[in-house]
Amino acid sequence: MTNNSFFQIALYVITLLVLAKPLGWYMARVYEDEPVWLNRWLTPFEALIYRLSGVNTKQEMRWTDYAIAMLVFNLLGFFAVFGLQSLQASLPFNPQNLPNVSPDSAFNTAASFATNTNWQGYGGEVTMSYLTQMLGLTVQNFVSAATGMAVLVALIRGFIRRKADIIGNFWVDMTRSTLYILMPLSLVLALVLVGQGVVQTFKPYQTVPMMETVSYGQPKLGADGVALQDAKGNPVMETVETKGQTIAVGPAASQVAIKQLGTNGGGFFNVNSAHPLENPTPLSNFLEMLSILLIPAALCYTFGVMVGDTRQGWAILAAMTLVLVALIFVAVPAEQGGNPALAALNNVDQSANATQSGGNMEGKETRFGITNSAIWSVATTAASNGSVNAMHDSFTPIGGMVPMWLMQLGEVIFGGVGSGLYGMIMFAIVAVFVSGLMIGRTPEYLGKKIEAYEMKMAAIVILIPPLVVLGGTAIAVMVDVGKSSVFNPGAHGFSEVLYAFSSAGNNNGSAFGGLSANTPFYNAMLGLAMLLSRYWLAVPVLAIAGSLAAKKIVPVGPGTLPTHTPLFVVLLIGTVLMVGALTFVPALALGPVVEHLQMLGVASAK
Give yes or no: residues 213 and 105 share one domain.
Answer: no
Q: What is the DSSP letter of 75?
A: H
Give yes or no: residues 87 and 47 share one domain.
Answer: yes
Distance CA 531, CA 543 (A): 18
Angle (CA) 108-378-572 rounded to 5° is 100
Does the residue 467 lie in any domain? no
Q: What is the pLDDT of residue 133?
A: 94
Distance CA 107, CA 529 (A): 12
Give me the sign of the Cα torsion angle 519, 520, 523, 529.
negative
Give yes or no: residues 224 and 107 share one domain.
Answer: no
Contact 32, 306 (CB under 8 A): yes
Does the residue 170 lie in any domain? yes
Distance CA 556, CA 444 (A): 9
Give yes or no: residues 233 and 175 share one domain.
Answer: no
Mean pLDDT, range 404-419, rounded to an integer: 94
Q: What is the pLDDT of residue 355?
A: 42
Give yes or no: residues 75 and 62 share one domain.
Answer: yes
The b-or-e profile of 165-184 (16+ CB within 10 A means b, else e) is: ebbbbbbbbbbbbbbbbbbe
Give yes or no: residues 153 and 291 share one domain.
Answer: yes
Distance CA 192, CA 287 (A): 9
Three-state DSSP class for 169? coil
Give yes or no: residues 178 and 99 share one domain.
Answer: yes
Does the residue 288 lie in any domain? yes
How many structural domains does the chain have? 2
Residue ending a domain, choose from 297, 317, 332? 297
Give yes or no: residues 144 and 98 share one domain.
Answer: yes
Does the residue 159 lie in any domain? yes
Q: Could you give phi then psi for residue 402, rounded to 5 degrees? A: -60, -55
Give yes or no: residues 60 and 88 share one domain.
Answer: yes
Give yes or no: residues 81 and 225 share one domain.
Answer: no
Residue ending a domain, choose from 247, 271, 306? 247
Please choose, from the candidates 371, 19, 421, the residue with its C-alpha nearest in 3D space to the C-alpha of residue 188: 19
Does the residue 436 lie in any domain? no
Give yes or no: residues 271 and 214 share one domain.
Answer: no
Does the residue 243 lie in any domain? yes
pLDDT band at 354 (very low <50, low <70, confident <90, very high): very low
Does the residue 289 lie in any domain? yes
Q: Could you give phi then psi for residue 447, rounded to 5 degrees? A: 85, 5
Q: What beta strand segments (E) does 395-549 contain?
A: 444-445, 448-449
Give yes or no: residues 83 and 230 share one domain.
Answer: no
Contact 129, 94 (CB under 8 A): yes
- List the domain range (segments joined by +) for residue 45: 17-203+250-297
Reported as a single tens digit per residue, the pLDDT across 255-285 is 999 999 999 988 899 999 999 999 999 999 9
Distance CA 337, CA 333 (A): 6
Q: Tell me, what amino acid is at 235?
A: P
pTM over 0.95: no
Please choose, from the candidates 17, 495, 522, 580, the residue with its C-alpha nearest in 3D space to the C-alpha of residue 300: 17
Q: What is the mean pLDDT of the chain?
A: 91
* pLDDT of 351 strictly over 60: no
Q: What is the pLDDT of residue 348?
A: 58
* pLDDT of 345 strictly over 70: no
Distance CA 419, CA 465 (A): 13
